[in-house]
Structure 1
Amino acid sequence: MIVNELAILRYQQLVENIDRSLVPGKIITPALHHMVTTLGDGEYPVNNFIAVVKNQIVVNVKLQAG
């Protein structure tokens, strides 16, 4: 059995009371916005993770190596 992404998000929202509206602001920092505006698509460091950006959309986040 597996749990899909929507179920995980809903669990975080309903059970753990995580406000999903705050998450984009934690990902799209002014520094990330500047890098994407300047350089376009790519993988960019944001605090302790990497934001993967395609067509001005953050499509994934990954932990930084190390």
Structure 2
Amino acid sequence: MTTKNRSTKMNLMHEDLARAQMRARLGEAQQLRRGHQMVLARRLSRRAERAAQQARLALARAL
């Protein structure tokens, strides 16, 4: 009977470890996603700034 209890405890420990590792990997994935979104936002912001500058130059030339 004690062997069965040990086996059950080991299985539960392995399941807990697997869950903890999965949570850690999900957290890492979310951080990477947030970082990627920040990079995209910066890129789009720079593109918008360049477009605004070009529009100002075109307006200045037209006047």
Q: TM-score, normalised by structure 1?
A: 0.22
When you count helix as a share of all residues, which structure comes out higher? 2
TM-score by length of 2: 0.22
Choose between structure 1 and 2 for higher RCO, CA contacts under 8 A separated by at least 6 residues. Answer: 1
Q: Which of structures 1 and 2 has the bigger CA Rg?
A: 2
